[in-house]
Amino acid sequence: MPKSVKAPPPQQASLKEMWGKRTTKTEEEDEKLDLGGAMNIEPENNNKGSSKRTGVLTRPDVLPKLKKRKIIQSDDEKEDQPKRSATTVVAESGKPTSDKPATFSSQSLKAKQKESVDAVSMVLEDMDVATSAGEGEEEVENDDSDMEVDDGIVSASAQAALRKKGEVDIKGGWKVGEPVPYAALTKAFSLIEATTKRLEKTAILTSFLLLVIQRSAKADHNSLLQAVYLCINRLSPDYVGVELGIGESLLVKAIAESTGRSLSLIKADLKREGDLGLVAMNSKNSQKTLFKPKPLTLPFVFSNLRDIALTTGNSSQAKKVSVITKLLAACQDFEAKYIVRSLEGKLRIGNAERSVLVALAQAVVLAEKEKVGKKWSQEKLTARLEEGANIIKAVYSELPSYDKVIPALLEVGIDGLRDKCKLTPGVPLKPMLAKPTKAIGEVLDRFENKQFTCEYKYDGERAQVHKLENGTVGVFSRNSEDMSKKYPDLVDQLPKCIKESTKSFVLDAEAVAIDRLTGKLMPFQELSRRKRKDVKVEDIQVRVCLFAFDLLYLNGEPLLQRPLYERRELLRQHFTPVPREFDFAKSSDSETIEEIQTFLEESVKDGCEGLMVKMLDSDASYYEPSRRSVNWLKLKKDYLAGVGDSLDLVVVGGYYGKGKRTNVYGAFLLACYDSESEEYQTICKIGTGFSEENLQAHYDALRPLEITKVRGDIKVGGAKPDIWFEPKIVWEVLTADLSLSPIYTAAQGLVEDRGISLRFPRFIRVRDDKNADDATGPEQIAEMYERQALAQSNGKKKKGGDADDGFW
């Protein structure tokens, strides 16, 4: 029901007054804010039951909808985004400059950013309880677009983005058809970094992408495409494999050459700040310049970053340093900071890809709204925003290529996107994942009165196999990495397995190490011995067998919306097993605890990890890309006495060994990864499960990753390791159970104010197939803890336990 909205009391400070105290904006610029009056400000609610990472609205009818962080389509809590003047220090010409950088520490910079963000963020928090069109006490009831205050929060940040584009825009903007200034992107980044509120971040990014859309020429798809890529710090789809991640030493050298400062001073600054991007910015902004460099543009920066990533061969390091030096020489304000961070591979602004997808959807919807020129009711806008976000996330999960999705989006709009962008051989989709379960009884409870099947859970590497109609075959990892050069033997042996009627397909399968003489399956550790690239078939010592368990695409038709029993039947009709090279995953349509138990024991005896239990019929058995679904359950032998799942954790710190471990690290600090805030959260110290050979191998792998100061994106808590590492290496770890901890920060605020830790953690194996970004997240850890607590409380059924976890 529409609610009348009254203007706030006159004694409340206006936004212009707030800005007058906090910035040096001119009155003319302040007039552009046009908020139509002051706002009532209410304090942020910090109830223990809510996540501390999002601002919490004071409206009681909205609060319940904020409890679950997993509702991505409700990503929009605030109504505006911040504006601030540049806080960089540029040396005045004519004044001498020293070799000392501008005096910004990471703490002082954040304080300055926060200062200029506070005023607007206060308005953002209140925007859900009042609109901006109020004069005195007059009720606003004659304007559909502003009259209704919807009970949802989806449209709040989108409306903020629409009204407040001027806050994100750079001074003077840029004309339609001109290249996007790189300064516009870095201003948005600085505002995003300055706030901890996820929905504020989305509002700011929405505003920036909206400006890009509206100021791009009609046939220009590249501006938005490049902007999105730089927002997620990538240069191409994952399967293309164009990566940055430039080493620290190269960047230090480039910063020195571009600023005229010594290597020793830059290294000293890095040791103090722990942020090479901040060091680059301070070094650049303290440098005396005779003339102002030509402004960087987004296409120019994107092109140079690609050149750096693709440079190989002789003298490649020198060539990279040369390009980086020229880029840094042209930087102003925040630009050097974010160019260096992009080159390092981590923007560290706390903006996950899922938020970028939501912002992209909102920007497209708002561009459509402004272009049509009609006023939409709050209800219609909210519905349209939710629909747009859901469509874009679903399409991207099925076809994760911005190269294909964004041009289609600009060409046909959101409504035509599903028809234009479908699963396509050659573009690996995001895989469907399973939820863990601790007992066979839980399986029967979940699938009671439903058809289901049990399959072997093989101890190998997930492999998505594609064949195009032209005969090209590709093998991709669960992270969309092209593994065709790692598994040339799979590519070669596949034609023997394909029936003549099979022209194109996408298989979901597991590549498992096998002894070709005996047929015995080997553990994952054997598979990890294979080289990752440029493998020659004649040199292969560890052979693999491909076990196919799903068929997702066949002869021009996606099969995702077909029930599993149909997909399985088509798989068996169109492929032929070849002993010890290709086979179907062994399955059993079991119905009783005894049958499942027998099949589980059989799987373990055959060298597998356990069972996958899957819904077989109805729409519940459809393939759901990027979703960890309750329609797939994994039952591993290790789970039956543990917490229900192993964890994939990142090694972030080390402790010097004693006794027999004197010359290696004796124990390690592990962390989970929060993709939403882009931070690593410490979870435990581990020192068991290692052989002497393990410890030496870990030392050799981690020694080059040692850093002098903990990174800013590692949320440490009370842990005090002897040495810190770059978060690169992922380990699989088993634990007896989980407990609340005042020392560690994992899932802090999701269950209680304290973090969650592992009791008696034990090292299982290195996960070479996973990046640090793929580590277990805090939501999953919190869910495991709650499931454990409920199991200990007489096995009461977990409220909401049948909910799926959406990747996006």
Residues forming the active site: 457
Q: What are phi and psi of 48, to 5 degrees?
A: -65, -25
CA distance 110 to 274: 14
795 backbone φψ class: left, alpha, beta (φ>0; ψ -120 to 50): left
User: Is-contact 449 422, C-beta < 8 A?
Assistant: no
Cα 76–chain centre separation: 18
Task: Give dist(CA 349, CA 473) in Å, integer.
Answer: 38
Angle (deg, nearest 10), helices 198-214 and 106-126: 80
SS3 state at 200: helix
Structure tokens at 367: 């561009």
Q: What is the DSSP string of 725-785?
A: E-S--EEEEE-SEEEEESS--TTTTTSSSSEEEEES-EEEEE-TT--GGGSPPHHHHHHHH
Q: 3-class secondary structure for 29-73?
A: HHHCCCCCCCCCCCCCCCCCCCCCCCCCCCCCCCHHHHCCCCCHH
Taking the C-alpha atoms of residue 177 and residue 181, their distance in angstroms, rounded to an integer, is 12
- Cα distance between residue 655 and residue 667, in whole Å: 5
Of 110, 130, 108, which Cα lies nearest the Cα of 118?
110
Dist CA 595 CA 574 (whole Å): 29
Q: 182 burial class (0-12, 13-18, 19+ CB within 10 angstroms)?
A: buried
Mark 69-106 as b/e (b = at least 16 C-beta within 10 Å).
beebbbbbbbbbbbbbebbbebbeeeeeeeeebbebee
